[in-house]
Amino acid sequence: MKGKSRHGTVRAALTAALALAGVLHAAEPWQDARRSPDARAAALLARMTTEEKFRLIHSEFGEPEPSRGWTKPAGALGSAGYIPANPRLGIPALQESDAGLGVANPLEIRPGDGATSLPAGLAVAASFDPDLAQAGGAMIGGEAHAKGFNVLLAGGVNLQREPRNGRNFEYAGEDPLLAGRIVGAAIRGIQSAHVLSTVKHYALNDQETARNTIDVRIGEQAARESDLLAFELAIEHGQPGAVMCAYNKVNGDWACENDFLLNRVLKGDWRYPGFVMSDWGAGHSAAKAANAGLDQESAAEAFDAQVFFDAPLKAAIAAGEVAPARLDDMVRRILRSLFAVGVFDHPARPAPIDVAASMAVARRAEEAGAVLLRNEHDLLPLAQPASIAVIGAHADKGVLAGGGSSLVTPRGGNAVPGLQPTAWPGPVTYHPSAPLAAIRALAGQARVDFDPGTDPAAAAALAARAQVAVVFVQQWAAESIDAADLTLPDQQDALVEAVAHANPRTVVVLETNSPVAMPWLDRVGAVLAAWYPGSAGGEAIANLLFGKVDPSGRLPITWPRALAQLPRPVLEGAAPGSPPPTAVNYDIEGADVGYRWFQRQRLEPLFPFGYGLSYTRFEHEATKVRIVDGVPQVAVRVRNVGTRAGADVMQVYAQTPDSPVRRLAGFAKVSLAPGEARTLTVALEPRLLAHFDVASRRWVRSAGDFALFVGHSATDLAAPVHVTLPAQTLDP
């Protein structure tokens, strides 16, 4: 008996040790991390009651909303969405936060809980660097996890069809390849922290004007080759746990109950295994939405007409309008994503945040994404001038942020509080990273004076006494509103004109949402597009102005000369008091968004897609092309022929037998020391060499001559290299 007892004790101790080491099976099959996400989801689903399933398919609004009579749910951290935990089955609470640029804290519902903000999504896209985008996503995901959040409403990939769109700063530009790869990398970074990310807003939510009612009209082939391709690429590269469907209608059906978008394309053709959640207020039905592919209704009590995915859906199932198997499919998809990302196995809980490391990520993103648009007579980098006048845009306090759900509350608070609007989509917020202080820190013995820019005459007088004038101008934009035009507000054009007249050595720094009109462009020495610069924007801008880093951003959008060049020169409903449009016609440009529209119409933009200056010069040596597994690979030797270290973006555009319009088909970024050369090899994206065939629902490459152009922008291209390719139908 003693021997058996001793062996039993040893066996128990060994069992406990193996369990702690993760070698033995967990108590329940879905807790076994060695199983696939699909197997774990199926095992857990089999144990759930109907009521438990329904509790997982609709979230609550996670913050109080007094105007709607909504109070913060017990257990919610205070954020965009919340689903309570299921202790019986070990399902964690879902704590959802907006996080397009960083972990949001709307109206400081969590007092004092600031976070790090990346610069605008356009800045990250302008870096043309997926690795940098992934690092930014990992930073946001890490901060979210350390705050207790496990679902982030991130991954904005709506294409810029409309430069007046108030949310352009959240997105990644006009080109599907660039946007898809950059956003996919950011999603991958977020989910590396075991935080589930969405991709949004699916699909064709390319303007804010009338976003809750507008019907987007576009043909299938055009949609597949533009906005839908951006989503397809982002999903492939990022594998997001959820897709957030949009507010608008697409060809007559709401995006969140659109069978074509959700069932046929997303879950059918793309074989997407995750779940679809509605945007906040985008739910419109029970049976139709469920049958069309919506899996989770978001914050319905506060935003939808009713909670469709509760009693109404139960009634629809009882009436045979929705199959019970569809409910199981909804829940299975949600659970699968939670397992795949690691939400179960790596619970989000409060932990220390390395703020310095996060700020370094934000600073590097701004340094890599700011675009030098003009630099006459090498005015930049500043070579220790004797005196500098810094003017405008609260540059003595901080840098501007965009408004709406993506707004990140700064650590230390808003640097310029009290500006209107203070309510949604505000408050107007400045991150406390003052360019003035950063410029003074790098200016050595130079005298640096500041003028607020509210009086052009006073600003001009200060500029006249300085060796160099740096004028900051700004354009606040936000979710739910669009601009009627591209004019800078508050008579800032007059400010720049006055300063430039007083001092031709004038540098203009743009803190803007998107392209703006620059009637003074030819009269200033330099222009730096800083976008919304993020939490470390002041330091990054100073580093760029003084040449501590080389400006290597390239435009992810086309900068028009005038509104008349756009497919829709008038944005209906954007002007105050004008009636909202019922529909918008995207078939005007179809798949030829941005630079492709300018090519097709033979229009000369102010600045082309892919454009950006540097403090050094790069040459692209002989282009070589070889075909690997039917796909062209383009090899180019890039050489830094200047005297400073810098980074170049090699861009490859393809012209197919089916179209005279060149498309970005590949890109790569490289950092080089003076005189250094490196060969870059880029495999072109096969879908950019093909067209989408609606009849077969496949990408088809036509046989014939393909012209491949290597260059520095969409219009600065070397002579083409021609290759002949056979016809090919791409694998689904």
Neighbours of 396 (CB within 10 A): 17
| Distances from the Cα of 441 to the Cα of 119, 142, 365, 385, 508, angstroms | 22, 30, 21, 13, 20
Helix 537-545 × helix 355-369 angle, to 10°: 50
Say if residues 83 and 151 touch (Cβ distance below 8 Å): no
Question: How far apart are alpha carbons 330 and 99 in whole angstroms?
Answer: 24
Strand duo 698-701 + 728-729: pairing? antiparallel
Please tell me the distance from the alpha carbon of residue 272 to that of residue 269, in angstroms, as a whole number. 8
The residue type of 57 is I
Q: Active site includes 493?
A: no
SS (H, E, C) 29-98: HHHCCCCCHHHHHHHHHCCCCHHHHHHHCECEEECCEHHHCECCCCCCCCEEEEECCECCCCECCEEEEE
d(CA 382, CA 466): 13
DSSP character for 164?
T
Given the residues 175, 206, 227, 279, select the one marked as catalytic.
279
In the three-class reduction of DSSP (H, G, I as helix; E, B as strand; rest coil), residue 506 is classed as strand
> Are 57 and 297 contacting, i.e. CB atoms less than 8 angstroms apart?
yes
What would you report as the CA-atom Rg of the chain, rounded to the nearest whole angstrom?
27
Rounded (10°) angle between helices 355-369 and 130-147: 150
DSSP letters along 445-480, please? Answer: T-EEEEE-SSSHHHHHHHHHTSSEEEEEEE---BTT
Rounded Cα distance between 71 and 53, Å, is 24
For residue 699, list its beta bridge partners.
Answer: 692
Angle, helices 227-238/176-191, rounded to nearest 10 degrees = 30
Round to whole Å and give the CA distance between 500 and 492: 12
Distance from C-alpha of 196 to C-alpha of 242, rounded to nearest angstrom: 8
Distance CA 404, CA 475 (A): 15
Distance CA 580, CA 563 (A): 19
Pairing of strands 728-729, 691-693: unpaired
Instruction: Report yes or no: 103 and 355 within 8 Å, Cβ to Cβ.
Output: no
Q: Which amino acid is at 701?
A: R
- Decide if 664 contacts 684 (C-beta within 8 A): no
Other CB atoms within 10 Å distance of the CB of residue 704: 12
What lies within 8 Å, CB to CB, of 112 at 6+ separation is: none
Nearest to residue 135, comparing CAs of 173, 185, 170? 185
CB atoms within 10 A of CB 292: 22
- Residues marked active site are found at 279
